[in-house]
A and B are shown apart, each in its own frame.
Chain A
Amino acid sequence: MQKNVTAVTLISLCVVLFTSLLTLFMGVYQFENGIVDTLFQLFQTDTTWKETDWFVLMHLRIPRIVMALLVGCCLAVSGTSLQGMFKNPLASPDLIGMTSGAVLFAGITIVLGSYIKKYLPEMLYFSMVGILSFVGSLLSMLLVYGMAQTNKKTNIVLLLLSGVAISAICGATTGLLTYVSTDEELRNLTFWTLGSLGGANWTKNAILAVVTGVGLCILLPKGKALNAFLLGENDAKHLGIPVEKIKTQIIITTALMVGTCVAFCGTIGFIGLIVPYILRLLFKSNYLYILPLSAVLGSFIMVVADTVSRTVVAPSEIPIGILTAFMGAPVFILLLIRYKKGKI
């Protein structure tokens, strides 16, 4: 069975890569030579590129798709890990207010940071936005966690309601920010609330790649621990699992991943809810399977959703957050129905 999972992960990874290659050629701009030739051209050094072809490919499409892959992976793995930690499939970064906390801090950084932006190198500026939204999501996470934890158990109702409260505060403050921001900042702020991968570039991707890499190294080996959490925290400890240490690692790592994603593409909701939901249908709650697979499936859903978002109303585009909300909200309702029936 374990070998099967490695195989399934590898196969689905190939599917994701293939899909990414396909979506590279979908969009308003059509490449002069068609898909196949353009692809071959990529691997030849001596060909001359049409300038627009090169620009669209290297500065618009590829960075955007890479970003979709990284962001999808981050959000899905964060969602799965949080659900494991809270032992509840309703927990996800956006529902418990992590995303809102990150938006607030990123918003403040953008508005206040505009005064110093021109003096900073791009890498440093984006890192700063990333770090502060990490701080934002970490703070809201700690607050929500403190609220929902009673007697070593998580009260899921308190968890979700604390998330609502935090989202409200953050939403109000972000709204206030729009009155003190300039036009350019305002556009940035609006795009946050809806989410978009339109701002993708290589600097952001480099930062995201590092965060994703570190995050996956920490979270993916946690499958055993999260399975043991299903027994309850005491029994997990009897199995030799350092419960508190693992919870701290998960809180910090997911805050880092979610914070960075929010800093660069705004609130793309529900990915952390949909992906584990789908995987649970196939593998039950076995985190040894659903953790690695959520990384792959998250990337896949994100790439597809982003492609839809930029092609369906071309030449304009739908914010991707709208699409994921349309997918995620029904899943949320389905989960609530199961919760009502006492099956969670």
Chain B
Amino acid sequence: MIHAKQISYTSNQRKLIDKVSIDLHPGEFIAIIGPNGAGKSTLLSLLSNEIEGKEAQEITLKDQKYTTWNLQKLAQHKAKFSQSQQHEIPLIVEEVVRMGRYPYYQQQPLKNDHHIVTEMLSLLEIESLAKRPYNQLSGGEKQRVHLARVLAQLQNDHVNKTIILDEPLNNLDVAHQFKILNLLKNYATQGNVVLMVLHDINLAGTFADKILLLKNGKCLGFDKPQHILTSEIISDAYEFPCVVCSNPITNLPLILFGN
């Protein structure tokens, strides 16, 4: 699916990403974790064709370089949820979600597009907000509107789609966090790739098939959660002591920070 080999990104003479390689396969749910300023968002931007480094990069989606993809076709295979969503969008919620269908029609949305918009609204439990102005929503509601939009963008017959999310759980309460992670997990098992930046290490440990640990633009490890979530690796990366115990609910490793 996405294949990146030794990619780097420099801005203002600072190396934000330093020779990171990543290989994603259908069905995988990947979490990127790391302390502030590790370059997590930059890495997502590189992998999602948002920015291009000056150095020659080798990033391919479905064995095809981004430069050779048709932009509209690409939008049907890959979607991105950005972290800094614009706060002011003077439209109603429904229209914002309908933007996810823009890669599929010219001027008039088809019946199928309307259907998918309704479906996504109810999937994210925001159907009651459909006609409300986007600007009046709370932070968590706005977050779910954009998730609905991004999911609507990938509702099609293509196989092996990629969804890239930058901290999708911000502003969400715990019930919605789990609901959305389950939803994405389910989406991954259908043969798609889910790649996301997560702040919560334990949620990453619970849901991700593999975790990529990033610090100062370098990859400190890209492996199954039990290999990454050890007290040495995590306390080293975050420069804060921690212990690992077993999560009594899931029996997976649970990180607790503190002396």
Residues of A within 8 A of B (CB): 2, 221, 223-224, 227-228, 230-232, 234-235, 237-242, 280, 284-286, 343-344
Contact = CB atoms under 8 A, between A and B. Distances in A.
A238 B48 contact: yes
Given A232-B86, A237-B50, A239-B100, A227 B75 contact: no
A241 B71 contact: yes
Contacts of A227: 91, 95, 99, 102
A223 B100 CA distance: 15
Interface in B104-130: 106-109
Interface in B153-174: 153
A235 B90 contact: no
Contacts of B78: 238
Contacts of B84: 232
B82 interface: yes
Contacts of B256: none
Given A230-B90, A240-B75, A284-B92, A235 B82 contact: yes
B203 interface: no
A234 B71 contact: no
Contacts of A240: 71-76, 102-103
B133 interface: yes
Contact of A230 (B73, B89, B100): B89
Contacts of A224: 102, 107
A77 to B, nearest CB: 16
Contacts of B88: 343-344
B41 to A, nearest CB: 11
B79 interface: yes
Most buried by B among A221, A240, A241, A343: A240
Given A230-B89, A231-B99, 14 more contacts: A224-B107, A228-B102, A235-B80, A239-B99, A239-B103, A239-B153, A240-B71, A242-B71, A284-B90, A285-B89, A285-B90, A285-B91, A286-B91, A343-B88
B90 A237 contact: no
B71 A230 contact: no
B80 A2 contact: no
A194 B50 CA distance: 46
Contacts of B79: 238
Given A239-B153, A241-B102, A284-B92, A232 B82 contact: yes
Interface in B45-76: 45, 48-50, 71-76
11 contacts: A2-B109, A224-B107, A227-B99, A227-B102, A234-B45, A235-B80, A237-B49, A239-B153, A240-B72, A285-B89, A344-B88
Most buried by A among B48, B50, B99, B133: B99
Contact of A238 (B75, B91, B95): B75
B71 A237 contact: yes
Nearest to A221: B107
B105 to A, nearest CB: 8
A234 B71 CA distance: 13
Contact of A231 (B50, B74, B89): B89
Contacts of B74: 240
Most buried by A among B71, B74, B108, B109: B71
B133 A284 contact: yes
Contacts of A285: 89-91
A5 to B, nearest CB: 10
Nearest to A233: B50
A286 to B, nearest CB: 6
Contacts of A230: 86, 89-91
Contact of A239 (B75, B86, B90, B108): B75
B55 to A, nearest CB: 21
Nearest to B153: A239
A231 B87 CA distance: 9
A224 B103 CA distance: 10
A174 B82 CA distance: 48
B193 to A, nearest CB: 16
Nearest to A225: B102
Contacts of B91: 227, 230, 284-286
A234 B48 CA distance: 10
Contacts of B103: 239-240
- Which 3 A-B pairs give the minimum distances between C-beta atoms? A240-B75, A240-B72, A285-B90
Contacts of A238: 48, 50, 75, 78-80, 82, 153
B194 to A, nearest CB: 16
B92 A2 contact: no
B159 to A, nearest CB: 19
A79 B76 CA distance: 32
A86 to B, nearest CB: 14
A36 B49 CA distance: 64
A237 B84 CA distance: 15
A153 to B, nearest CB: 10
Nearest to A2: B108
B100 A286 contact: no
